[in-house]
Amino acid sequence: LDEARAIPDASKTALTEELRRFQGSSGCTLHVVSTTFLNGRTVRDHANALASSWLRSKRGMILAYDRATDSHAIAPSQAMWETYPTPTLVEAFREAGTLLQEKVLPLEKRLAGGAGLLMHRVIEAEQQRLLHNQLLPGHDLWAALVFFALLLAGTCGCSLIFARLRQRDAANAIRY
């Protein structure tokens, strides 16, 4: 939603496609919104209102920019806080915010760059989340299977040795 006409149409198409790919790869939604008139509300209030109405229980974020005050806000959904570590999200917001405040860059590049940084960090967080949710990732699974097989072989070997010792003790007990 570009009410402030902050992004030219050609760039808007590329950003829309990038946002679509982001949603497909991460399962999260990112909406980039620019406006010029907020009826006395802050850009943070605007972003939070949009997040609560557009995202509800979905994982996603609103990147809101107010052209009149040249300020921005990032509002994640509650599901984002529940899914990803807070320091990871805060760091992503800080990095994107730093880029959005770079006044030497054109507004179009600041918005696209900020959105790109957010998407990149969330994709990294999603990859980490998936890795940590695996019971045993990749090579660790093989190591665990080999260790389990060795334990099983050792248990069987010990059982055979103890059975043989019991037979010998029983035979010796009969002799005496």
pLDDT tens-place string over residues 51-80 = 888 888 788 888 888 877 878 888 888 888
Mean pLDDT of the chain: 80
Rounded to 5 degrees, φ, ψ at 156 are: -65, -45
Q: What is the mean pLDDT of residues 22-28?
A: 82
Taking a C-beta distance cutoff of 8 angstroms, is the pair 73, 49 a contact?
no
As a whole-number percent, the residues of the chain with pLDDT over 90 amount to: 3
CB atoms within 10 A of CB 83: 17
The answer to whether 5 and 68 are in contact (CB under 8 A) is no
Q: Between 39 and 7, name the one with better pLDDT.
A: 39
Supply φ then ψ for residue 65, to 5 degrees: -130, 130
Dihedral sign for Cα 53, 121, 92, 1, please: negative
Query: Do 6 and 111 contact (CB within 8 A), yes or no?
Result: yes
pLDDT of residue 168: 83
pTM beyond 0.75: no
What's the Cα-to-Cα distance from 67 to each of 34, 47, 107, 118, 160, rounded to whole Å? 7, 14, 9, 20, 80
